[in-house]
Amino acid sequence: MDSLRYWVTDMHVDGFRFDLAPTLARQEGEFDKRSAFFDLVSQEPVVSRVKLIAEPWDVGQMDSYDLGGFPAAWREWNGRYRDSMRDFWRSHPIGLGEFASRFCGSSDMYGAARRRPTASVNLITVHDGFTLRDLVSYSDKHNPAGQQQRLLPGQRDRLV
């Protein structure tokens, strides 16, 4: 808490995104939104007032995607939005209902906990996935130098 408070008060940071956030909330080996970490954050007068964003993936756990499971003050990266919008962009059949649900804030993911669509941080691409250009041009990642790539159907033989 001291480090987070320092970043807010001295460095004027207005929020944090926690990578692999469920690991911070493990109690007895499982994710728990009533964990000690979330209690500490909610009771800390400075840190509790900034933007708190969870990347809801975990590693090494059976159920490793906790979208919609974070406390009300938290926002969450929405991987379902990302996947649906990518599929729509690439003309894959996702269905109008799926598209509308994701585009309008994924209330099916947050509504049961009475959370608003603002709980969803909608993203298309981030630091650990395809670049946006790769996403719409290739079927495989196009980041490593010298790696062979397969263009999506209908694309030119090579991009300029």
Tokens of 16: 């944090």
Contact 78, 57 (CB under 8 A): no
- Of 10, 28, 30, 55, which residue is the catalytic one? 55
Neighbours of 97 (CB within 10 A): 9
Which of the residues 19, 39, 63, 140 is marked catalytic?
19
Per-residue DSSP letter, 149: -
Neighbour count for residue 146 (Cβ, 10 Å): 4
Q: Mark whether 58 is an active-site residue.
A: no
Is 44 marked active-site? no
Residue 147: DSSP 8-state: -
Residue 145: beta bridge partners? none
Question: Which helix (DSSP H) or strand (DSSP E) does residue 101 occupy?
Answer: helix 96-103
Which residues are tagged catalytic?
19, 55
